């Protein structure tokens, strides 16, 4: 099992009860265990996937949503390659808390971290947050966007596989830039992410509001991904 | 084969052959005769056997009739046996009924006795006796009793009367015992409380008994805890453990609960044995009370130790510092790091919270210990007293009680406080150590490396004492973040500004000397300090990589010691966090490399340049006389080595061994590169080539001697160039070029084209010969 080319750390955050643990279980074990108890501190899963012919080891950190575990979960942000911010599409308060989560991410995570907004529980009938609102929010905050259902296994595989593909793209463009300054590498990696295009929100955003330096490397590096 | 066929097969062409055939036929005939005779001889025997068989046939008839008779007999016996066993079964049934009947009679007698006894016992207030009677009554099959009562209706002894009496008595006793128990509780009469506690199960009130008793104990413990909490400070003062006052109180509370369970477990097992959930029921009720008491204690703790206020201060100070960073990315990019604020009034002093942090870790560890103790108790309890199929249920129920308890939740909260304070303590102390960094001359590193690693190790060790894996992981993460952030920036800042060199060009050096002369030593010492600081930080970074490895290894051992039984997930969690430290080590290694490159560009390159230029002043077109003269005087390589030695010596004592080796290695690379360039600028004759070869050898042996690392491979290329230029004739090259001819020589680092280029430097070699070389 130690035969892998890349190792990426993915951290899931979001309010209690939005289905972080279920997403992880669905992806790593193919299960949807109902009546899951609240996560204590952090839980840890590993899954090796194959993307573009490369073996990739994903370390998935499933964090507790409750406030009292915040100082434990925060300590994992720094080393994360990707952060998945989850809310429940049938629960407005979980969406309203997103700015608080972003503030926390800003404070503790690496500024270059890949951020993905996930609206979970699309299987529910009592939707409170329309897809477009979530998409809009993701666009505003420079995040990818995806709606999932851990229960119906909808978009779960896609979520993790696309993160893996995206991170490979970043890692490769960083290797390629070699001696280039860190700032340039950052710009490149951010630029290359646009080429992926499968996350709808960020793709739409690339032209109209290139908030961070997304213009620079996009042309030259987009060919490396895909 | 038949005779005819034999005849046909025979060749009867000649007389002789006919004779031969005849003879063979005669032999054949003889053989057939023999066979016939022997067959005839057997006839007798066969006839004898036939008559034997005829005789035994008669016997077989008798056997047949006998066996038929036997069969009849067996059938008879079987029928007999069946009828016997049916009788036995009936007998057994009768016996069963008889004993049942006897039991009923016993029950009836007992019922009678009990109904008489219980009334008497109740009137005499002998609760044990009445309870025993009731227990006997309850042990009877109530339905059966009712049926019996119907059966014997009309008899003198009215069973139903007795049942009624007993039922009434049971009700009465239950109420009475509950009342007496309550009275005993009110009177705080422990002996009576225990007395009635033991009676409850006899009258079939297991659950009520456990509940009432648990409530009583909770009440007692609550009173005790309240009194102790009020005197917490006084008690702590008396024990001179003021700093651990609340941890000690918490310990006392938990010990009380643990003791209650320990003391009452045997009583419950003895008197409440039939109801397997009794102990866990009690534990559940006790846990509830424990939650409440701990809650009170923590409220007092929070108030007295100003936890809210301090957390707020910590949060504000971290927000301030990150807020500053977020607002100005450019400053962050320049390697800005938070300075320890000096005189700020509301800034929390890390020393102030040191004791609180320690107290919290003790509290957390005690609660972990308490839960472990309870779990072990219950484990033993279920293994000895509970039927196997219920064991798992009860243990599971305890895990649930524990997981959902308020105590657990409060400990998660206090752990959160601990992590907040611990991070603040660590970060501030590290910044302080960086701020107070001092360097003593003669040392290679400054104080901050030891200080910082001391602080970090202390933090991780303290995290281990909480007994919480999640907490330990978080602290390790914070340690990695702290090293990666503040510490690496502090090391990198002076490296980024470069190695202050007074030797960039002559004019600058001249100016430096001038100003030094004019202003005393002031300016020069400034540059000196800059240089020393640069080297010290470079050494610091190098030593830190070692320290991180040590830290990580010792922590790995200590973690294994603290958590001997971890699940695979926990194990992976810890390992993964420790791996973060490895990532920081790599960042530090990169810092060292960065500093080395700075040295290369600001020290090695500019100073090598003029020395290498000297090489061009020495002619390598020499005749015998000039060679002798050259060798008698100061050769280039002598001059060069003296200069290099001077340069290296100025660093030898101030660099850590590894850094010094790295410096020599960089120097070797740079020397060979620049020398190669210089060689290309001049021409050589035979003797000039000889001189160059000697020079390269001397240089090689000097550099090899200067370091414990191998620089030989860095010298390979230049040695090969010297070999080329030292050739007697071009044709000699084939001996060297083909590695098969000379195994000692390492493979060529030069391309055929480069070989040709270098050979053209020899002015006595003809271009055509060089071109003709087969390479």
Q: How confident is chain A (226 residues) per 10-residue block, as mean pLDDT?
A: 80 94 93 84 90 89 92 92 95 94 91 93 93 94 94 92 91 61 38 40 38 35 35
Partners of residue A39 in chain B, C-beta under 8 Å: none
Q: What is the pTM of this model?
A: 0.76
Q: Which residues make Cβ contacts (< 8 Å) with residue B348, sequence separation at least 6? A: B310, B313, B314, B317, B424, B428
User: What is the pLDDT, as a whole number, of residue A191?
Assistant: 36
Tens digit of each residue's pLDDT (9 = 90 or more) over B548-576? 999 999 999 999 999 988 888 889 899 99
User: What is the pLDDT, as a whole number, of residue A100?
Assistant: 93
Instruction: Report which DSSP code applies to A17.
Output: T
Partners of residue A71 in chain B, C-beta under 8 Å: 415-416, 419-420, 423, 474
Instruction: Report which DSSP code applies to B603.
Output: I
Whole-number Å distance between alpha carbons of B121 and B767: 134
Q: Which of B14-28, B147-161, B582-596, B606-620 has the lowest mean pLDDT?
A: B147-161
Q: Which of B91-100, B110-119, B508-517 has the lowest mean pLDDT?
A: B508-517
CA B99 from chain centre, in angstroms, equals 64
Rg (C-alpha) for chain B, rounded Å, is 53
Closest of A79, A21, A41 to residue B415, by C-alpha: A41
Q: Which of A94-98, B577-581, B682-686 has the highest mean pLDDT?
A: A94-98
User: What is the pLDDT, as a whole number, of residue B371?
Assistant: 93
What ranges in B328-446 are assigned the alpha helix state H? 329-333, 350-385, 388-404, 406-435
Is residue B333's pLDDT more than 50? no
| Between B633 and B381, residue with greater pLDDT | B381
CA distance A183 to chain B (A): 9
Tens digit of each residue's pLDDT (9 = 90 or more) over B107-121? 777 777 777 777 777
Whole-number Å distance between alpha carbons of B190 and A66: 44
User: What is the pLDDT, as a whole number, of residue B338?
Assistant: 45
User: What is the pLDDT, as a whole number, of residue B512?
Assistant: 54
Is there a contact between B477 and A59 if contact means CB atoms under 8 Å apart? Answer: no
Q: Which of B322, B416, B480 sits opposite A107 (nearest CB)?
A: B322
Section B261-267 average pLDDT: 88
Whole-number Å distance between alpha carbons of B202 and B196: 10
Q: Which residues make Cβ contacts (< 8 Å) with residue A122, sequence separation at least 6? A: A89, A147, A148, A149, A152, A154, A155
Other C-beta atoms closer than 10 Å to the C-beta of A53 total: 6
Whole-number Å distance between alpha carbons of A33 and B567: 21
Is residue B458's pLDDT more than 80? yes
Tens digit of each residue's pLDDT (9 = 90 or more) over B175-233? 888 888 888 888 888 888 888 888 888 777 788 888 888 888 888 888 888 888 787 77
The HSE-up count of residue B561 (CA atoms within 13 Å, CB side) is: 9
**Residue A125 structure tokens:** 């009938």
**Residue B65 structure tokens:** 């009739």
CA distance B419 to chain A (A): 6
Tens digit of each residue's pLDDT (9 = 90 or more) over B273-307? 767 788 888 899 999 999 999 998 999 899 888 88
User: What is the pLDDT, as a whole number, of residue A186?
Assistant: 38
Whole-number Å distance between alpha carbons of B735 and B757: 19
| Long-range pairs, A103-110, Cβ under 8 A, ≥24 | A104/A13, A104/A70, A104/A74, A104/A77, A105/A13, A105/A77, A106/B326, A107/A74, A107/B318, A107/B319, A107/B322, A107/B326, A108/A74, A108/A75, A108/A77, A108/A78, A109/A77, A109/A78, A109/A80, A109/A83, A110/A77, A110/A78, A110/A80
> Quick one: what percent of chain B has pLDDT higher than 90?
26
User: What is the pLDDT, as a whole number, of residue B386?
Assistant: 82
**Beta-bridge mates of residue A46:** A59
Is residue B501's pLDDT more than 70? no
CA distance B323 to chain A (A): 8
Q: Which of B469, B474, B572 sits opposite A75 (nearest CB)?
A: B474
User: What is the pLDDT, as a whole number, of residue A126?
Assistant: 92
Mutate: best of A9, A35, A65, A71, partner B, most B CBs <10 A: A71
Q: Phi/psi class of residue A142: alpha, beta or left (left: φ > 0; alpha: ψ in -120 to 50)?
A: left
Q: Order of strands, edge to edge, in the sheet holding A6-13?
A: A42-51, A54-63, A6-13, A82-88, A114-120, A144-147
Which chain B residue has the Cα nearest residue A78? B481
Chain A residues near any Cβ of chain B (below 8 Å): 37, 40-44, 46, 59, 68-72, 75-76, 78-79, 106-107, 183
Tens digit of each residue's pLDDT (9 = 90 or more) over B310-329? 888 888 887 766 554 433 33
Partners of residue B415 in chain A, C-beta under 8 Å: 71-72
Instruction: Report which DSSP code applies to B775.
Output: -
Name residue, tokens 């949503």.
A65
Mutate: best of A7, A16, A72, partner B, most B CBs <10 A: A72
Name residue, tokens 């930080």.
B537
Cβ(B371)–Cβ(B402) below 8 Å: yes
Q: Which of B403, B477, B576 sits opposite A75 (nearest CB)?
A: B477
In sign, the C-alpha dihedral spanning A147, A152, A154, A159 is: positive
**Beta-bridge mates of residue A147:** A119
| Between B366 and B532, residue with greater pLDDT | B366
User: What is the pLDDT, as a whole number, of residue B43?
Assistant: 87
**Phi/psi of residue B747, each to 5°?**
-65, 155
CA distance B411 to chain A (A): 10
| End-to-end CA, chain A | 26
Whole-number Å distance between alpha carbons of A72 and B470: 7
CA distance A153 to chain B (A): 24
Cβ(A11)–Cβ(A82) below 8 Å: yes
Partners of residue A69 in chain B, C-beta under 8 Å: 412, 416, 470
Is there a contact between B473 and A75 if contact means CB atoms under 8 Å apart? Answer: yes
**Torsion of the alpha carbons at B301, B304, B308 and B313, rounded to the nearest 10:** -130
Section B522-546 average pLDDT: 80
Model confidence band, residue B706 (pLDDT cutoffs 50, 70, 90): confident
User: What is the pLDDT, as a whole number, of residue B258?
Assistant: 92
User: What is the pLDDT, as a whole number, of residue B173?
Assistant: 78
Is residue B743's pLDDT more than 60? no
Partners of residue A37 in chain B, C-beta under 8 Å: 403
SS3 A59: strand
Cβ(A14)–Cβ(A117) below 8 Å: no
**Residue B79 structure tokens:** 């029928």
Q: Which of A37, A46, A72 sits opposite B474 (nearest CB)?
A: A72
């Amino acid at each position: 099992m130690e035969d892998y080319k890349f190792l990426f750390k993915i951290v899931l955050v979001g309010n209690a009860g939005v289905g972080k643990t279920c997403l992880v279980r669905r992806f790593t074990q193919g299960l949807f265990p109902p009546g899951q108890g609240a996560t204590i501190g952090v839980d840890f899963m590993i899954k090796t996937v194959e993307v573009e012919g490369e073996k990739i080891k994903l370390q998935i950190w499933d964090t507790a949503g409750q406030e009292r575990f915040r100082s434990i979960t925060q300590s994992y942000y720094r080393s994360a390659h990707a952060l998945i911010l989850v809310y429940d599409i049938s629960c407005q308060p979980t969406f309203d808390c997103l700015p608080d989560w972003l503030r926390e991410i800003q404070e503790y995570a690496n500024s270059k971290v890949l951020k993905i907004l996930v609206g979970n529980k699309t299987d529910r009938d009592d939707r409170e947050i329309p897809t477009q609102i979530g998409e809009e929010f993701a666009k505003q905050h420079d995040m990818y966007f995806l709606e999932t259902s851990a229960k119906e296994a909808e978009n779960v595989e896609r979520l993790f596989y696309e993160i893996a593909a995206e991170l490979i793209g970043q890692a490769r463009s960083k290797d390629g830039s070699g001696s280039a300054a860190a700032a340039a590498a950052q710009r490149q990696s951010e630029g290359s992410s646009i080429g992926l295009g499968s996350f709808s929100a960020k793709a739409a955003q690339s032209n109209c509001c290139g908030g961070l330096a997304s213009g620079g490397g996009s042309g030259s590096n987009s060919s490396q991904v895909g | 084969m038949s005779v005819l066929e034999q005849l046909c097969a025979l060749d009867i062409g000649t007389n002789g052959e006919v004779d031969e055939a005849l003879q063979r036929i005669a032999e054949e005939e003889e053989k057939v005769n023999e066979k016939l005779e022997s067959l005839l001889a057997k006839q007798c025997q066969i006839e004898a056997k036939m008559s034997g068989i005829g005789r035994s046939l008669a016997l077989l008839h008798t056997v047949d009739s006998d066996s038929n008779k036997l069969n009849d007999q067996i059938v008879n016996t079987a029928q007999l046996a069946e009828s016997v066993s049916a009788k036995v079964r009936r007998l057994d049934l009768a016996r069963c009924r008889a004993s049942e009947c006897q039991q009923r009679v016993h029950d009836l007698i007992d019922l009678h006795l009990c109904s008489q006894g219980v009334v008497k016992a109740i009137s005499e207030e002998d609760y044990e006796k009445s309870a025993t009677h009731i227990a006997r009554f309850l042990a009877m099959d109530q339905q059966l009793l009712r049926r019996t009562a119907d059966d014997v209706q009309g008899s003198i002894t009215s069973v139903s009367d007795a049942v009624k009496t007993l039922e009434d008595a049971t009700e009465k006793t239950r109420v009475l015992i509950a009342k007496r128990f309550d009275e005993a509780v009110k009177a705080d009469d422990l002996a009576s409380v225990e007395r009635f506690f033991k009676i409850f199960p006899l009258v079939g009130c297991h659950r009520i008994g456990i509940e009432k008793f648990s409530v009583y104990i909770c009440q007692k413990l609550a009173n005790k805890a309240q009194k102790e909490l009020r005197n917490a400070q006084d008690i702590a003062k008396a024990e001179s453990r003021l700093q651990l006052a609340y941890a000690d109180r918490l310990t006392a509370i938990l010990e009380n609960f643990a003791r209650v369970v320990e003391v009452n477990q045997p009583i419950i097992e003895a008197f409440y044995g039939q109801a397997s959930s009794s102990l866990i029921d009690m534990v559940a009720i006790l846990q509830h009370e424990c939650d409440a008491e701990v809650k009170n204690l923590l409220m007092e703790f929070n108030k007295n130790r100003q936890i809210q206020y301090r957390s707020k201060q910590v949060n504000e100070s971290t927000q301030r510092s990150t807020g500053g960073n977020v607002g100005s990315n450019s400053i962050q990019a320049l390697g800005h790091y938070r300075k320890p604020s000096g005189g700020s009034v509301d800034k929390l002093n890390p020393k102030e919270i040191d004791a609180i942090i320690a107290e919290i870790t003790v509290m957390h560890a005690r609660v972990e210990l308490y839960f472990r103790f309870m779990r072990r108790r219950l484990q033993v309890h279920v293994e000895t007293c509970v039927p196997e199929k219920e064991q798992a249920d009860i243990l599971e129920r305890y895990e649930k009680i524990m997981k959902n308890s308020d105590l657990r939740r409060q400990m998660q909260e206090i752990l959160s406080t601990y992590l907040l304070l611990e991070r603040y303590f660590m970060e501030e102390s590290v910044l302080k150590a960086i701020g107070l960094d001092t360097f003593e001359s003669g040392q290679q590193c400054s104080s901050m490396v030891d200080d910082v690693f001391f602080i970090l190790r202390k933090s991780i060790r303290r995290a281990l004492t909480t007994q919480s894996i999640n907490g330990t992981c978080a602290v390790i993460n914070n340690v990695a973040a702290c090293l990666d952030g503040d510490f690496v920036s502090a090391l990198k800042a002076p490296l980024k500004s470069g190695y202050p060199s007074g030797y960039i060009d002559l004019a600058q050096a001249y100016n430096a000397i001038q100003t030094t002369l004019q202003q005393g030593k002031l300016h020069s010492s400034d540059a000196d300090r800059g240089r020393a600081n640069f080297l010290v930080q470079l050494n610091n970074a190098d030593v830190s990589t070692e320290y991180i490895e040590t830290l990580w290894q010792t922590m790995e051992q200590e973690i294994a010691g603290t958590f001997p039984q971890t699940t695979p997930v926990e194990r992976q969690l810890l390992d993964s966090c420790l791996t973060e430290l490895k990532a920081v080590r790599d960042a530090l290694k990169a810092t060292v490399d960065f500093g080395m490159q700075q040295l290369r560009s600001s020290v090695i390159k500019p100073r090598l340049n003029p020395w290498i230029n000297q090489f061009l002043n020495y002619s390598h077109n020499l005749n015998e006389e000039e060679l002798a003269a050259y060798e008698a005087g100061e050769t280039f390589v002598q001059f060069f080595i003296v200069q290099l030695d001077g340069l290296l010596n100025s660093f030898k004592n101030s660099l850590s061994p590894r850094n010094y080796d790295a410096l020599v290695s960089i120097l070797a690379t740079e020397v060979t590169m620049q020398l190669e360039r210089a060689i290309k600028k001049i021409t050589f004759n035979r003797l000039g080539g000889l001189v160059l070869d000697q020079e390269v050898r001397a240089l090689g042996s000097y550099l090899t001697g200067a370091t414990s690392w191998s620089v030989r491979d860095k010298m390979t290329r230049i040695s090969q160039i010297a070999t080329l230029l030292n050739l007697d004739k071009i044709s000699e090259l084939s001996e060297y070029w083909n590695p098969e001819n000379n195994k000692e020589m390492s493979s060529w680092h030069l391309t055929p084209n480069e070989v040709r280029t270098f050979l053209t430097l020899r002015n006595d070699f003809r271009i055509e010969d060089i071109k003709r070389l087969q390479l």
